[in-house]
Chains A and B, each alone.
Chain A
């Protein structure tokens, strides 16, 4: 066997010098803790959830049931309606947050007196703990004692008490309003930060060329902040899809399933009814749906970015 170090050109390492790691090994060593963390916090629970989804795991034990849980979901009309409700809830809520966030950020970015105060006033819905905010809304929506119903009656919108959370449609849109109220401030602040990073020279040049406010907003602001819009809308969509606390505190998914999204259904099945196997199957479906949704979303937004010339 040939000794590598004895070959011509090989570097001779003094016996006392510590052995040096290659750059590659050093890099691997550095990311190892992160890998371990991801493995314990994400990968293992995900693998365990997938495994559970093929069992009838409950309080007292579990048996392998193959694809039975998935077949049941496929054949369940109720589950199909929850899928539809979830995507509709996500679409309406994210759209509202994006539009209101853009409007809010544009207003806060304008040179108006007291701008700093307005920026502070945007924060409370986001800063207040969600549970406390929701309990406040719970009382606002109450038909008998609630402020909204009372004011609505006084100004003639409602004939009598209007219990927002008692009707299927009104309960759904009430939950959307609360979700938008909580989620919009963060979107606004991100858009505001992005708008403040836009080069002022672009606006001045456009202004010199006679471009109006709407034109400047459409052709300069929007393209310049498009990466932030893309990121925020995707993140917001995922958060809204998985939003649990708002719906659960306001309606517990009712009345009669009108506000039952997939995450509420999963919770009720797995934690509420202790059917861990069936709940795990629902969780896996959520992961798959979100992955498909994200892939389609990224593809479409890639196209949009190309149109706006964003890399």
Chain B
């Protein structure tokens, strides 16, 4: 009898200890690296719903600031401990694809047609798609009309670079503020800021065949103009990156600067602000840099299909619309054609500037060694700002270094 009791007790204990292990073996935990300071509520809602609909599935969601995020995902992947899924800049895709770290993505024709023009090119490499575009931005020039009027000027869109320089000069000379905010820090958005000027002057980084086309008159003009604006910019351009300029704008220290649509919501409500297209250079028309961030699914985790499901849930239909509209992003899809009634960008006039520039925008160059691309541009821009070399030499050197990096 005693033996039987012990046997039963032993069996019960065995079951009690084995069950969690069994359950664990059937549970799937996905590691999701989300670049950004916080997880956006619209994304969080979809992830919560995704988990609730699937037994045994959990998502270890980790928000990592942009400065380190992409390095972290890539380093983990290189070490054989890749996250299941990650939200990161599309500029990383070529490197990820070349090194066979992520799974290719397929879209139906219907899905392809829904995207804004140019969006899918930002995730294309070697004839395949490598990420699901999840955030899209175009850029425009923000004006602080209070400062501009205080300087005795009319608050209206400067159409050309000459107009912009004249306006910046007038503000600098007649107020305590700087005319324009410029980025020059060793940071990726210094390159992005410059590309807005380059694309507004008809310039390009790579031609249609993927060859370096940087060494051109368009680039030299853009670089010379960027450096010349320093005279009317905030002190110490080299210590500023674009996002920190929001503080300068809010503090009334700069009268204008280029930012994405989210800038509007981050500016103080009491600022009389206006948003206008990036002024056109002497050799081009107003343009903008088209940037997307994408969701990628890493290989070798054992649950790629599940990760793909989550990626699709986050990037399609109402989920994507909620993110774009709540976070102030340029619409990544043509929601008006998808049947959305009066999408947010059709009812608010400021969106006209950001949406109308999509067809004339230029892409963020997609090269394998994207860090070298950034280093080459920052080196060229800082060289011009510090006046360390002639504009011609700086552009020629940058083109040469970029060709080496391809």
Contacts and interface: CB of A to CB of B under 8 A. Distances in A.
Interface of A: 58-61, 141-145, 160-163, 165-168, 251-257, 268, 271-274, 276
Contact of B95 (A163, A167, A251, A274): A274
Given A60-B98, A60-B99, A252 B186 contact: yes
B381 to A, nearest CB: 10
A168 B239 CA distance: 11
14 contacts: A60-B100, A142-B236, A143-B235, A143-B239, A144-B248, A162-B235, A168-B386, A254-B382, A255-B186, A256-B383, A272-B71, A272-B371, A274-B74, A276-B78
A143 B235 CA distance: 7
A143 B239 CA distance: 9
A147 to B, nearest CB: 15
Contact of B78 (A59, A163, A251, A268): A59
Interface string B233-244: 011111100000
A143 B95 contact: no
Contact of A144 (B71, B187, B234, B382): B234
A141 B239 CA distance: 10
Interface bracket on B: 20 to 34
Interface centre among B99, B186, B247 (most CB of A within 10 A): B186
A58 B185 CA distance: 27
A162 B186 CA distance: 19
Given A253-B186, A272-B71, A144 B371 contact: no
A162 B236 CA distance: 7
Given A165-B238, A166-B238, A59 B372 contact: no
Contacts of A257: 379
Contact of A59 (B95, B184, B253, B382): B95
B371 A273 contact: yes
B254 to A, nearest CB: 10
Contacts of A61: 99
Contacts of A60: 98-101
A256 B236 contact: no
B114 to A, nearest CB: 32
B60 interface: no
Given A163-B236, A255-B386, A274-B78, 15 more contacts: A60-B99, A60-B101, A142-B236, A144-B234, A162-B236, A165-B236, A165-B238, A165-B239, A166-B238, A168-B386, A254-B238, A255-B382, A256-B383, A274-B75, A274-B371
Nearest to B371: A273
B77 interface: yes
A268 B95 CA distance: 16
B99 A58 contact: yes
Contacts of A167: 238, 386
Interface string B241-273: 000000110000100000000000000000000
B235 A256 contact: no
A273 B404 CA distance: 14
Nearest to A255: B238
Interface in B35-70: none
Interface centre among B77, B78, B237 (most CB of A within 10 A): B78
A22 to B, nearest CB: 44
Contacts of B336: none
A163 B186 contact: no
A163 B239 contact: yes
A141 B101 CA distance: 41
Contacts of A274: 74-75, 78, 95, 371
Contacts of B78: 59, 274, 276
Nearest to A256: B382
Nearest to B187: A252
Contacts of B100: 60
Contacts of A256: 379, 382-383, 386, 388
B71 A166 contact: no
Nearest to A275: B369
A59 B386 contact: no
Nearest to A253: B186
Contacts of B95: 59, 274
Nearest to B74: A274
Interface in B157-209: 184-187
9 A-B pairs with least C-beta separation = A163-B236, A60-B99, A166-B236, A161-B235, A254-B186, A143-B236, A59-B99, A166-B238, A143-B235
A248 B237 CA distance: 18
Given A60-B99, A255-B382, A273-B372, A160 B235 contact: yes
Nearest to B78: A59
Interface string B73-110: 01101100000000000000001001111000000000
A166 B253 contact: no
Contacts of B382: 254-256
Contacts of A271: 71, 75
Contacts of B185: 254
B68 to A, nearest CB: 10
A68 to B, nearest CB: 14
A81 to B, nearest CB: 13
A141 B185 CA distance: 14
A167 B77 CA distance: 37
A165 B186 CA distance: 11
Nearest to B247: A145
A143 B375 CA distance: 24
A161 B239 CA distance: 13
Nearest to B100: A60
B236 A144 contact: yes
Contacts of A168: 386
A168 B238 CA distance: 10
A59 B253 CA distance: 43
Given A59-B77, A255-B386, A273 B238 contact: no
A230 B237 CA distance: 42
B385 to A, nearest CB: 8
Contacts of A272: 71, 371
A120 B9 CA distance: 61
A144 to B, nearest CB: 6
Interface centre among B372, B375, B378, B382 (most CB of A within 10 A): B382
Nearest to A273: B371
Contacts of B247: 145
A183 to B, nearest CB: 24
Contact of A163 (B99, B238, B369, B386): B238
Given A58-B99, A144-B253, A271-B71, A166 B372 contact: no
